[in-house]
Structure 1
Amino acid sequence: MSRRLILGITGASGVVYGIRALELLRGTGIETHLVLTRSAALTIGYETERRIDEVKALADHVHPLADVGASIASGSFRTAGMLVAPCSMRTLAAIATGNTDNLLTRAADVVLKERRRLVLLVRETPLHLGHLRNMTAVTEMGAIVAPPVPAFYAKPGSLEEMVDHTIGRVLDLFDIDTGTVTRWREDEHR
């Protein structure tokens, strides 16, 4: 497996998921390639105390959204896949319809065509039929739709623990163990 992972952060609420994924991937030997949408930059300002340059500094490589000629836009650039956390409904719709008008959606399209893992942490509620159809479409194309649903069996004591568990489970899909997941019936004897 390639030791590279593409991470997209969109403007949906929940940018903490993408930021935390970058933090947890540091020191794992995984080379991270970050793409932020313009809306992500706004949401980071609304939802966190972080500056954009601080978030970018967490990644090994940052690619401009308009750079559709970047390495991650090519199937010959080998990766383990891509995580979009959070994934807005706009980005989901673009991926579902093959709209590759920016680097984030182009990279997702490449991941799908190369039959690599694409995980979308979709963030919206409630959902209308268009959202559900787009989720079905990307699933049929090979993506994994993984809404950030908390696991209460882990008995989280804080929002941070809930975020860590969710991101740990999502990174499990890439065979990356960050040590943040309370595993059902495995950890109860510790």
Structure 2
Amino acid sequence: MRLVVGISGGSGIPYAHGVLQVLKDLNVETHLVVSSGAKRVMTAEESGPQLPDLTALASQVHEDRDLAASVASGSYRTDGMLIIPCSAGTLAKVAHGLADNLLSRAAHVTLKERRPLVLVIREDPLPRPMLLNLLAVHDAGARVMTASPGFYHAPDTVAQLLHFVTARVLDQFGLDVPGFRRWKEPGSTPEAEQ
């Protein structure tokens, strides 16, 4: 399997790190595109993963300004793309077909080739323009998710909350994440363990 992983300038870089780690563990080929906004957010969120932590997990890294990269073309086959986190600005570009950097171009290519595109939003509250953009990308064929973990698995750590989101995102590509406890499956709730 080959996936494009985009990271845009929304807070929540640890979500991207978790996805990249699991994809590496699952031997999925990853093509990483990190926006300039994401690089600024990493610097601001000093305690979180930094660019070297992310690039070390990717099979291939592409510069966001490189519109001649492999993932900019529909003839380069992938099994889909995810953008985690997806900022409001990147969402707007995808919603309106503005492909002025590699991240938005790769998303455009993913939509036009009818491949799975998953956008993981991590922003609140959602103003009307953003809600309209969410609807537009949905109608164009993307799947919209929020970086919103569940709690039925009784998490004890932040890492377990991040893992929940990672597993739900990778479910969209048919990938099973080891250690993910699903609703109503044996051992998935504290009541089931008693």
Q: TM-score, normalised by structure 2?
A: 0.93
User: Structure 2 regions of 5+ residues with no counterpart?
Assistant: none
Farther-moved stretch of structure 1 (180-189 vs 76-85): 180-189
SS in structure 2 of the partner of residue 154 of structure 1 = coil
For residues 87-126 of structure 1, the aligned pairs below 5 Å read 87-126=86-125
Runs of 4+ in 1 over 2 A off after TM superposition: 45-51, 187-190
**Does structure 2 retain, via aligned residues, the 8 Å contact 1:44–1:50?**
yes
SS in structure 2 of the partner of residue 121 of structure 1 = strand
1:76 counterpart letter in structure 2: S
1:23 counterpart letter in structure 2: Q
**Does structure 2 retain, via aligned residues, the 8 Å contact 1:73–1:110?**
yes
SS in structure 1 of the partner of residue 9 of structure 2 = coil
List per-residue Cα deviations over 1:124-143 (Å, max 9, x = no partner). Answer: 10011101000000000000
**Does structure 1 retain, via aligned residues, the 8 Å contact 2:14–2:48?**
no
Deviation of the 1:187 alpha carbon = 2.9
Q: TM-score, normalised by structure 1?
A: 0.95
Q: 2:39 aligns to what?
A: 41
Q: 2:5 aligns to what?
A: 7
Deviation of the 1:146 alpha carbon = 0.3
For residues 21-170 of structure 1, the aligned pairs below 5 Å read 21-47=19-45, 48-170=47-169
Deviation of the 1:34 alpha carbon = 0.2
Q: 2:178 aligns to what?
A: 179
1:121 counterpart letter in structure 2: V
Deviation of the 1:158 alpha carbon = 1.0
List per-residue Cα deviations over 1:129-163 (Å, max 9, x = no partner). Answer: 10100000000000000001110111111111000
Deviation of the 1:180 alpha carbon = 3.6
Deviation of the 1:7 alpha carbon = 0.3
SS in structure 1 of the partner of residue 146 of structure 2 = coil
**Does structure 2 retain, via aligned residues, the 8 Å contact 1:94–1:100?**
yes
CA distance in 2: counterparts of 1:46 and 1:104, whole angstroms: 21
**Does structure 2 retain, via aligned residues, the 8 Å contact 1:73–1:107?**
yes
Q: What root-mean-square deviation, in Å, do the aligned CA atoms of Structure 1 and Structure 2 show?
A: 1.2
The count of corresponding residues between Structure 1 and Structure 2 is 188
CA distance in 2: counterparts of 1:9 and 1:161, whole angstroms: 21
**Does structure 2 retain, via aligned residues, the 8 Å contact 1:165–1:180?**
no
**Does structure 1 retain, via aligned residues, the 8 Å contact 2:24–2:57?**
yes
**Does structure 2 retain, via aligned residues, the 8 Å contact 1:112–1:118?**
yes
